[in-house]
């Protein structure tokens, strides 16, 4: 075994008396890419938050470069050489890219901020990631994938000895993932140690030297990735054999319940038209920047549509100028940006679930009992792991946060449900639960739009697939044409509208 960079001894962590990590003993070598996998709530993010100073362990300790350390906060972690790329973005949207990258570590000269040097270094960092983001661009103007690249650049700016990556590829294209993996290998060659958390088991096998499986806060195994295949990893994660991940597709009716015609948004979308049938799953595929999220946001009134755009529900033209209008017209939207738009982490489970349907819980005063009963119903239905209904969502795992966001969107009883990257950053078993949930919705007659960057997901779930490129629809595929090759032809412009 090579030189040990980081070692944990008997690490345990409790929240409100619930033990989420127990007796974690690991040794990670310098220059190793160490994978961590497990279901949502297994303790993965909790462990790396302890290593990066966000949480303090209830029991146990950490040694770094052979010395016992007490990491009180992320600033101390950075000082000894530990940086983390979080699962949820930790960026200030009003600041520019370079200001975010150097926030708290600003470069100065002669008593003033050295903005020129910070911009120059930002350009070099982004060039290493082969992305063309301008250093002075405001974070709020960036796509989710671009924000992820900024988070990676932010971590690279600190010359880390230990770099922690928590689900860094969930919103990246295959090309962007290849660029990231090439960078990780170069960092490894320089002696940088990387802890890599992912639910994409193919990625774990491709990039990691060893993989640790966590389940219910316990270490199940630590293995060389040469010794375990993806099926074995998945079985260890859930403790049982997984059945078919995608449910059998339903057959929608011919009734058109939702229709978009010539929808345009200035400088973003151009003449989008499609229809959605009752009980159908309509997939939306395309590369990053194709305009799929922007389309969803325009439909529900977050983005301003041009006057030529029309949206019809059950044959009746409707004006949707805000998300409130969308809810009134029985349209639900599950955002790809879970913490930014889907939930309020400072609120508890009850108040998140009932947030957008509060009028149904009140006449003069809120019916707290009904709110609690409804929240408990969703906890049971979606298998949401929570210490109590009053637990704030900041203490939930990513998968459980996603389930709460899903329950919140479902509470107003929508007839059209738009899912934007619904399985982003969640484990294989939670994915299966959400797929079966969506399938159950369409069996009940709800019509679903599914936006996803994972082609396997689009192909496995959709009745038809709309392919977009550069703000336009390039093709609508059905039947045997719903395959990876055909979708990529339309997504890259080799087929379809120029």
At 302-321, the pLDDT tens digits run: 999 999 999 999 999 999 99
Check residues 157 and 359 and name the one with the higher pLDDT: 157
- CATH 3.40.190.10 at 4-238, yes or no: no
- Residue 384: which of 408, 371, 402 has the closest Cα? 402
- Cβ atoms of 253 and 277 closer than 8 Å: yes
What is the average per-residue pLDDT within 95-119?
88
Domain boundaries, the chain: 4-238, 256-491
* CA–CA distance, 252 with 416 (Å, rounded to integer): 13
**pLDDT of 294 higher than 90:** yes
pTM above 0.85, yes or no: no
Percent of the chain topping pLDDT 70:
97
Does residue 125 contact residue 133 with C-beta atoms inside 8 Å? no
How distant, in Å, are the alpha carbons of 32, 178, 431 from that of 37? 16, 20, 14
pLDDT digits (tens, 9 = 90+) for 141-199: 888 778 888 888 888 887 789 999 888 887 777 888 888 898 889 889 989 999 999 88
Asked if the domains 4-238 and 256-491 are classified in one and the same CATH topology, the answer is: yes
Domain 256-491 matching CATH 2.40.50.140: the answer reads no
- Other Cβ atoms less than 10 A from the Cβ of 182: the count is 12
Residue range 77-88: average pLDDT? 85
Q: What is the largest CA-CA distance in the chain?
A: 71
Q: Identify the sign of the CA torsion 212, 214, 219, 220.
A: negative
**Whole-angstrom distance, CA of residue 106 vs CA of residue 99:** 8
Measured distance CA(53)–CA(64) in Å, rounded? 13
pLDDT of residue 468: 94
Return all residues near 204 (Cβ < 8 A) that are at least 6 apart. Answer: 35, 37, 196, 198, 211, 225, 233
- Cα 122 to Cα 72, 81, 362, 375, distances in angstroms: 28, 19, 51, 45
């Amino acid at each position: 075994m090579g030189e040990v960079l980081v070692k944990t001894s008997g690490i345990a962590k409790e929240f409100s008396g619930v033990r989420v990590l127990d007796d974690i003993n690991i040794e990670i070598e310098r220059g190793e890419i160490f994978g961590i996998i497990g279901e949502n709530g297994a303790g993965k993010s909790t462990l790396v938050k302890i290593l990066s100073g966000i949480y303090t362990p209830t029991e146990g300790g950490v040694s770094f470069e052979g010395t016992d350390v007490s990491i009180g906060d992320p600033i101390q972690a950075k000082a000894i050489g530990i940086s983390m790329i979080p699962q949820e973005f930790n960026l200030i949207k009003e600041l520019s890219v370079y200001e975010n990258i150097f926030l708290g570590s600003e470069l100065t000269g002669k008593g003033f901020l050295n903005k020129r040097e910070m911009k120059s270094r930002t350009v070099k960092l982004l060039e290493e990631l082969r992305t063309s983001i301008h250093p002075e661009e405001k974070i709020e103007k960036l796509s989710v994938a671009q924000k992820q690249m900024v988070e990676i650049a932010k971590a690279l700016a600190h010359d880390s000895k230990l770099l922690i990556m928590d689900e860094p590829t969930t919103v990246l294209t295959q090309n962007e993932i290849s660029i990231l993996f090439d960078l990780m290998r170069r960092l490894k060659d320089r002696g940088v140690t990387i802890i890599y958390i992912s639910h994409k088991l193919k990625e774990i096998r491709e990039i990691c030297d060893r993989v640790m499986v966590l389940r219910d806060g316990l270490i199940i195994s630590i293995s060389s990735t040469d010794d375990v295949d993806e099926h074995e990893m998945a079985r260890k994660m859930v403790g049982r054999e997984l059945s078919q991940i995608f449910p059998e597709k339903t057959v929608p009716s011919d009734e058109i319940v939702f229709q978009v015609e010539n929808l345009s948004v200035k400088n973003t979308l151009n003449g989008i038209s499609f229809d959605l049938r009752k009980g159908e799953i309509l997939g939306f595929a395309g590369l990053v920047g194709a305009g799929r999220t922007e389309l969803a946001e325009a439909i529900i009134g977050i983005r301003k549509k041009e006057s030529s755009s029309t949206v019809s529900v059950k044959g009746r033209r409707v004006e949707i100028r805000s998300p409130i209008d969308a809810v009134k017209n029985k349209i639900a939207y599950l955002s790809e940006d879970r913490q930014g738009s889907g939930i309020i982490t400072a609120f508890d489970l009850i108040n998140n679930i009932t947030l957008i349907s509060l009028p149904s819980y009140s006449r003069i005063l809120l019916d707290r009992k009904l709110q609690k009963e409804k929240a408990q119903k969703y906890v049971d239905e979606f298998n949401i792991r929570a210490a109590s209904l009053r637990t704030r969502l900041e203490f939930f795992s990513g998968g459980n946060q996603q389930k709460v966001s899903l329950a919140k969107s479902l509470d107003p009883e929508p007839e059209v449900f738009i899912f934007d990257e619904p399985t982003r950053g969640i484990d294989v078993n939670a994915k299966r639960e959400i797929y079966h949930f969506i399938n159950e919705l369409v069996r009940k007659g709800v019509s679903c739009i599914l936006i996803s960057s994972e082609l396997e997901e689009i192909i496995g779930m959709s009745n038809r697939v709309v392919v977009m490129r550069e703000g336009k629809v390039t093709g609508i595929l059905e039947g045997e044409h719903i395959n990876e090759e055909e979708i990529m032809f339309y997504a890259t412009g080799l087929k379809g509208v120029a």
